[in-house]
Amino acid sequence: MSTIDRYKKKGGFVQLLAVLEGSSPQKQEQFFNLIGAESKSWEAALRKKILSIEKILAWSPEHLTDLFSSIPHLTSAMTLHSLPQDKIDFYLKYLNPKDKRKIADLIAEKAPSAGEKSACAHRVIQEVRSMISKGQLKLEKIDPELVIEENIEFQVEHNLPKLDGSSSGQKNEETAPAHFGESEPTEAGTTLRFELPSKNEPPANMQDLESMRRKLSQMAKELDTAKQENQSLRARLDQIRKIA
């Protein structure tokens, strides 16, 4: 089995993202290099969706205020410590006076070590993921590029645009495409659905419909080919296990 083979099932992208977000920057790059050697589309998608302190601190203050209010003062202080003073002041001014004073004092007291910074970064990212899962942070409003679509594994594997018509993975009732044919289970157990245009946009004639059927058949063949190619890459799993 290849490095990413077992993550191609439904939910696998999120699992692999969790592995990456829990790793140090150095190990992250090693993971990305291994993944990129097998699939550039997977590497690109993971780099795009991964959370980092840099991405989080680029959010608007209103969202960061909720975050800093949910994590320990020391974690907030160590997260902000390496930023320029004007940036620190910018974020702190949105906190209540008590939290602002406490975090400012902690920032002034001690410079965190590299290990402490890394631990705090992981803590912040874990808290953000938790707040997202609970609906306390809405990525659709904060940073739509970070939204993980419901069918992202199939999209990434085939370099497809979003199939569900929305950034959040929830189908819009007015624009949701009609399903064509039966669902086809993949080897990993993920259910794939091939889509046609909505009922409001039927094929212009039977030639269009036949052309679509041929494309669907070709996609199925490409999927089979990809499965066969993945067999030859399974040895790479040992590499990623050693790194982890």
At 110 the pLDDT is 80
At 217 the pLDDT is 63
Domain map of the chain by residue range? 5-52+146-243, 60-142
Q: Do residues 177 and 195 lie in contact, with contact meaning Cβ atoms separated by under 8 Å?
A: yes
Token pair 């212009």 is found at: 204
Task: Spell out the CATH class of 60-142.
Answer: mainly alpha
What the block records as the tokens of 93 is 């001014």
At 35 the pLDDT is 93
How many angstroms separate the first and last alpha carbons of the chain? Answer: 16
> On the CB side of 18, how many CA atoms lie within 13 Å of its CA?
10
- Cβ neighbours, 10 Å, residue 88: 17
Calculate the CA 141 to chain-centre distance.
Answer: 16
Rg (CA), the chain: 22
CA distance 164 to 195: 9
Q: What is the largest CA-CA distance in the chain?
A: 74
Give the residues of the chain that fall short of pLDDT 70.
1, 161-244
Burial 7-28, CB ≥16 within 10 A → b, else e: bbebebbeebbeebbebeeeeb
Q: Do residues 164 and 176 lie in contact, with contact meaning Cβ atoms separated by under 8 Å?
A: yes
pTM of this structure: 0.62
